[in-house]
C-alpha cells in the first residue's frame, strides 16, 4: 500500500453568522453558559443561496487550485457528511459532475460523523492504491442547520455548517499511520428518511467522557505505531466539538497547547467539516507548511474515532 500526503486544501464559509446572543433570543440560554461550557461564540449557517452542495463544491474547487493538480488527474472523490440534502445522489457525485471531474473514477459519500474526514482519507487511499491513480479529492461538509431542533437548547447552541477539502497524493515512502475504530452507540443520533423529522440528539455528558478518552487514545496509538513523539509533529488538528475537551486532553497528555489549534469559537461543531476547515486555516496562517508532519483526530457519532499521521506536501 502506498502512503498519502495532503498537497492542497480549501474551505467554504456559510454566509449567515449566528451569535450566542442571537440564540439567546430563541431558547433559554446565554452567552456566558455557551462560552464557558463549549468555547463557542458564534457559528455559521447556510444562507438561502447555499447548501451542502455549494459549500463542498467551493471548498473542493479551492483545494484543487491550491494543489496545482488538474481536474483530469483526480482519481477518486470522497465526501464525508451526515447532513446532505440528498441520500442519493451522493454529495460526492454532485460535486464530481458540477466541477467536471472525471467519470471513470470511484465517487461516494462516507458516513462516520465527526470522524468522517479522516475515514474518508483512508477510503481514498484504498481507492488510489486499487486504481493506480495518484491524486484524490476528500471533502468534509455539513449543513447541520438542516437537522437542528431550534427548540432544544442542549444541542442547537453547539453545531454549525461548513466545508473543508483536501487533495491527496500517493507517495512511495514517508510517514503515514492511521487508527480507525468505533464502539457502536446511540449517544448521538439523527433519524434517517421516514415519518420522523430528522433532528440531532445527543447525550452530551456521555459523549464528553467518550471524547476525552478517544483523543489521547488515538494520539498514543499513532505515536506507538510510528515511533515518533509529539515533538516531531508540527500540528495536531482535532475535531472542534468543545474547547473544554481539547484543553482537558492537552493537560492530560502534558502536550504543547500551541500545537492544538482551536476555531470552534467562530464555527461551533461542524462535524465532518471541522478537521479540514481547521487544516485549511492553519495552512493559510502559515502554521502548516510543505514538509510538515501533522496529526488529525476525529471522534463522534456511532462513537467512531479516527486518527491519522501524515505529511503535508506539494504536487
> Where in the sequence numbering do the catalytic residues fall?
114, 239, 269
Q: Is the dihedral of CA 287, 307, 216, 311 positive or negative?
A: negative
Site for ligand UT7 in 248-267 (CB under 6 A): none
Site for ligand UT7 in 268-287 (CB under 6 A): 269, 271
Residues 222/295, Cβ–Cβ less than 8 Å: yes
Q: Tell me, what DSSP letter sits at residue 34? A: H
142: phi then psi, degrees, rounded to nearest 5: -140, 140
Q: What gap in Å lies between CA 191 and CA 157, rounded to an integer?
A: 20
Q: Which is nearer to ligand UT7, 124 or 297 (CB)?
A: 297
Q: Which residue has the cell 500517493?
A: 170
Residue 208 in contact with ligand UT7, rule: CB under 6 A: yes
Binding footprint of ligand UT7, residue count (CB under 6 A): 22
Residue 205 in contact with ligand UT7, rule: CB under 6 A: yes
Binding mask 2-31 for ligand UT7 (x = CB under 6 A): ---------------------------x--
Q: Which is nearer to ligand UT7, 205 or 229 (CB)?
A: 205
Residue 251: CB atoms within 10 A of its CB come to 10
| Binder among 8, 300, 302, 313 for ligand UT7 (CB under 6 A) | 300
88 Cα distance to chain centroid:
21
Shortest distance, position 127 Cβ to ligand UT7, whole Å: 26
Q: What gap in Å lies between CA 176 and CA 251, rounded to an integer?
A: 26
Shortest distance, position 67 Cβ to ligand UT7, whole Å: 28
Question: Can the peptide bond before residue 159 be classed as cis, meaning omega within 30 degrees of 0?
Answer: no
Contacts (Cβ under 8 Å, ≥6 apart) of 211: 241, 242, 245, 299, 300
Residue 238 in contact with ligand UT7, rule: CB under 6 A: no
Binding mask 144-183 for ligand UT7 (x = CB under 6 A): ---------xx--xx-------------------------
| Binder among 16, 19, 31, 33 for ligand UT7 (CB under 6 A) | 33
| Binder among 107, 114, 272, 275 for ligand UT7 (CB under 6 A) | 114
Q: Which is nearer to ligand UT7, 81 or 269 (CB)?
A: 269
Closest CA to 122 of 159, 170, 173: 170
Cell representation of residue 49: 443561496
Distances (CA, A) of 254 to 215, 233, 251, 259: 13, 15, 5, 12
Q: Which residues bind ligand UT7 (CB under 6 A)?
A: 29, 33-34, 37-38, 114, 153-154, 157-158, 188, 204-205, 207-208, 211, 241-242, 245, 269, 271, 300
Amino acid at each position: 500500500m502506498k502512503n498519502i500526503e495532503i498537497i492542497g486544501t480549501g474551505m467554504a464559509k456559510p454566509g449567515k453568522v449566528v451569535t450566542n446572543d442571537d440564540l439567546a433570543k430563541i431558547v433559554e440560554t446565554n452567552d456566558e453558559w455557551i462560552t464557558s461550557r463549549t468555547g463557542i461564540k458564534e457559528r455559521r449557517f447556510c444562507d438561502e443561496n447555499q447548501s451542502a452542495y455549494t459549500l463542498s463544491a467551493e471548498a473542493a474547487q479551492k483545494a484543487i487550485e491550491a494543489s496545482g493538480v488538474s481536474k483530469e488527474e483526480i482519481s477518486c472523490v470522497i465526501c464525508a457528511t451526515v447532513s446532505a440534502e440528498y441520500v442519493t445522489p451522493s454529495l460526492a457525485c454532485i460535486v464530481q459532475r458540477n466541477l467536471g471531474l472525471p467519470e471513470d473514477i470511484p465517487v461516494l459519500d462516507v458516513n462516520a460523523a465527526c470522524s468522517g474526514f479522516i475515514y474518508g482519507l483512508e477510503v481514498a487511499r484504498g481507492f488510489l492504491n486499487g486504481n493506480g491513480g495518484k491524486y484524490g479529492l476528500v471533502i468534509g461538509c455539513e449543513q447541520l442547520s438542516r437537522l437542528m431542533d431550534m427548540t432544544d437548547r442542549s444541542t442547537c447552541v453547539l453545531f454549525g455548517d461548513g466545508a473543508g477539502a483536501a487533495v491527496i497524493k500517493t507517495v512511495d515512502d514517508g510517514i503515514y499511520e492511521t487508527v480507525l475504530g468505533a464502539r457502536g452507540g446511540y449517544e448521538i443520533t439523527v433519524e434517517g428518511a421516514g415519518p420522523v423529522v430528522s433532528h440531532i440528539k445527543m447525550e452530551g455528558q456521555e459523549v464528553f467522557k467518550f471524547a476525552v478518552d478517544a483523543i489521547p487514545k488515538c494520539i498514543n496509538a499513532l505515536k506507538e505505531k510510528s515511533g515518533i513523539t509529539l515533538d516531531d509533529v508540527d500540528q495536531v488538528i482535532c475535531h472542534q466539538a468543545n474547547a473544554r475537551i481539547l484543553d482537558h486532553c492537552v493537560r492530560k497528555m502534558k502536550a504543547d497547547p500551541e500545537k492544538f489549534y482551536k476555531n470552534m469559537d467562530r464555527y461551533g461543531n461542524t462535524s465532518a467539516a471541522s478537521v479540514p476547515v481547521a487544516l485549511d486555516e492553519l495552512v493559510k496562517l502559515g502554521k502548516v507548511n510543505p514538509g510538515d508532519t501533522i496529526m488529525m483526530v476525529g471522534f463522534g457519532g456511532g462513537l467512531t474515532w479516527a486518527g491519522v499521521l501524515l505529511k503535508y506536501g506539494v504536487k
